[in-house]
Amino acid sequence: MSGLVLPIEPLTAGAFAPFGSVIEADPKTMRLINGGTTERFHALGKTEAAGEDARIVINIFRGQPRLFPYVVDMMERHPWGSQSFIPLDNRSWLAVVAQDEDGQPGRPRVFACSGRQGVHYGRNVWHHPLVAVGAVSDFLVVDREGSEHNLEEIFFETPFTIAASSLS
Ligand SMILES: NC(=O)N[C@@H](O)C(=O)O
Ligand code: NI
């Protein structure tokens, strides 16, 4: 296996806070609307789209399942906007993020996301492209479209490995 084996951590709002937010039906965010017939879990992610002609777009990403052990050899970030991933198939998946260290991604952290947990990556936060697990999986993806180039990729000299998905 290539390089350091990365542990898989449970996704919690606190652990993920340096990278963005967790998109889930958290009772602390809930407010009743529509005459009490609907629970609104409010502002789970604060989208950002910078640049003259920038706008937020809503997409569906159909991800092929990654094979494990999976080699994390690169990270990316979007300097001009945020990016949010919400699973549509109620299938567990992995979110891989890293702190910025002088313009480079630090050691990646791997979070196990349930099929009812999405994540919101803040603007310019290092992350690995979508890591679907187990089967082809659809995700609702909310991110930024605009004229500026919105993708920065860094490849590690020494890659990391996710040994096996310990997802149920
Ligand atoms: N390229 C693209 O839109 N996908 C990545 O940004 C990703 O994070 O999966
Ligand atoms: Ni991305």
Q: Tell me how far the alpha carbon of residue 68 lies from the centroid of ligand 2, in angstroms.
A: 21
Q: Tell me how far the alpha carbon of residue 36 lies from the centroid of ligand 2, in angstroms.
A: 36
Q: Tell me how far the alpha carbon of residue 50 lies from the centroid of ligand 2, in angstroms.
A: 15
User: Which pLDDT does position 167 carry in this prediction?
Assistant: 52
User: Which pLDDT does position 164 carry in this prediction?
Assistant: 76
Q: Work out the end-to-end distance of the chain between its first and last CA atoms, rounded to an integer number of angstroms.
A: 23
Output the CA angle 150-11-9, nearest 5 degrees.
105
Could you identify the residue written with the tokens 């567990």? 92
Q: Tell me how far the alpha carbon of residue 77 lies from the centroid of ligand 1, in angstroms.
A: 9
The 10 Å Cβ neighbour count of residue 85 is: 25
Assigned architecture for domain 8-167: Sandwich (2.60)
User: Which pLDDT does position 3 carry in this prediction?
Assistant: 82
DSSP 22-55: EES--GGGEEEETTTTEEEE--SS---B-STT-E
Report the nearest atom of ligand 1 relative to the CA of 151: 6
* Short-list 161, 153, 65, CA closest to 108: 161
- 10-residue block means of pLDDT along the chain (168 residues)? 87 98 98 98 98 97 97 98 98 98 98 98 98 98 98 98 71
Q: Report d(CA 168, CA 112) in Å as an integer.
A: 10
Helical (H) or strand (E) element with 56 = strand 55-63
Nearest CA to ligand 1 atom 4: 129
Report the nearest atom of ligand 1 relative to the CA of 128: 8
Q: Tell me how far the alpha carbon of residue 76 lies from the centroid of ligand 2, in angstroms.
A: 6
Cross-strand bridge partners of residue 142:
58, 84
Phi, psi of 27, rounded to the nearest 5 degrees: -55, -25
Nearest CA to ligand 1 atom 5: 129
What tokens appear for 166 in the block?
Answer: 């310990």
User: Which pLDDT does position 166 carry in this prediction?
Assistant: 54
Ligand 1 binding pocket (C-beta < 6 A) is 83, 127, 129-130
Nearest CA to ligand 1 atom 1: 129
Upper half-sphere CA count for residue 128 (Cβ side, 13 Å)? 25
What tokens appear for 28 in the block?
Answer: 């602390």
